[in-house]
Amino acid sequence: MRKLLAMVIAALAILVFLFSFSFRNEGKKAAEVIIRGSGSTFLQPQLEAWIQGFLKDFKNVSIEYQGVGSGAGQEQFFKRLTDFCGSDPPLSRQTWERYRGKVLQLPIILGAVAVVYNVPELKDRCLKLDGRVLALIYLGRIEYWDDPMMRELNPGLDLPHRRITAVHRSDASGTTQIFTTFLHEAAPDLWPSDLVGKTVNWPVDGKGRGVGGKGNPGVVAALKSTEYSVGYVELEYAYREALPVAAIKNRDGNFVLPSVEAIQEAAKNALPDLPEDPSEDFSSELQAIVYAPGNGSYSITAFSHVFIRTTYSKEKTWVVREFIRWICERGSGYVVEGYVPVPEEIRNIDLRALDLVRSG
């Protein structure tokens, strides 16, 4: 009996050892699953908040993200240097057709591009601008802050007779594509379609009154160090740096500041033009939401996206799917000031897309 008991104890000890060894190895294996992404600096603060929240619930994974701009992020993603990409604009129709069935683009958050300025005389007074005046500034055809068109938009403001420096992105930027799309939609006779994109040959640079900055942080730095400048940044950066933000004239003729309500109204009015199938082309989405109609719509509103593949390794498939699912189901509790959760209709599209992501 004692011999039998000793054999049972020995067998149990072996089982405990094997279970412990297997558990440690499984934990080690899970900890080695690293998901890497890069892209939009517009999206970066929000993605970083989501990653921190997600990793509180999922301890054995690592997600890294570098804000290098939408253009560089897309290049790295399609070269398979990263597992996902953050991008402000959706893919062009041509790129989408090339990668159809291999890549999904998920509208993941709503944001706004704020027009910011450094005019000491204005202090906390709110500047009003429209697409035509902004187009003429970046074309180099409006030179001074007290230009008659500026004064007409801002009666009662004492605008100085100082030259305007127009600050813009120097890198391939989704923020630039959103801003130049707005200029084209609001003033198509002034701002042609060949000046719309992630990189632009800014006419104002040829006048000696343009300054480039890398990423949203670079634009902020240039604006803060250059008096009498104007620029465009993602709204969260304007909040973070306490920059004055202009009210922008919308399609309905109202001057609107970027706010949660104004961003939501623009999205609501864009929804009928968006596809419901996550495998469809979203290239027309930017035109649908930028300069959207609506009394209270903010005109330079856009979805920001995450691009993912439809095929990963087994371990990465699980992490990618759970991360997107977590954003859709719990991410609204981690929204950074300056961003707005996407409507439920869009979250449902993103969740349906997860059925298309498989290991292989």
The residue-averaged pLDDT of 164-183 equals 95
Per CATH, the number for 113-266 is: 3.40.190.10
Structure token pair of residue 306? 């995450």
Structure token pair of residue 286? 């930017």
Domain ranges of the chain: 113-266
d(CA 138, CA 162): 16
Residue 284 above 90 pLDDT?
A: no
The residue-averaged pLDDT of 71-84 equals 96
Q: How confident is the model at residue 4 (pLDDT cuts 50, 70, 90)?
A: very low
State the CB neighbour count (10 A cutoff) for residue 75: 17
d(CA 178, CA 216): 13
Q: How confident is the model at residue 2 (pLDDT cuts 50, 70, 90)?
A: low
Is the separation of the CB atoms in 36 and 76 below 8 Å? Answer: no
Per-residue pLDDT tens over the stretch 302-318: 999 999 999 999 999 99
Is the separation of the CB atoms in 158 and 68 below 8 Å? Answer: no
Strands 301-309 and 103-118, how do they pair? antiparallel
Per-residue pLDDT tens over the stretch 98-112: 999 999 999 999 999
Q: How confident is the model at residue 264 (pLDDT cuts 50, 70, 90)?
A: very high
**What pLDDT does 3 receive?**
54
Is the separation of the CB atoms in 218 and 41 below 8 Å? Answer: no
d(CA 113, CA 10): 68
Is the separation of the CB atoms in 203 and 139 below 8 Å? Answer: yes
Per-residue pLDDT tens over the stretch 222-231: 999 999 999 9
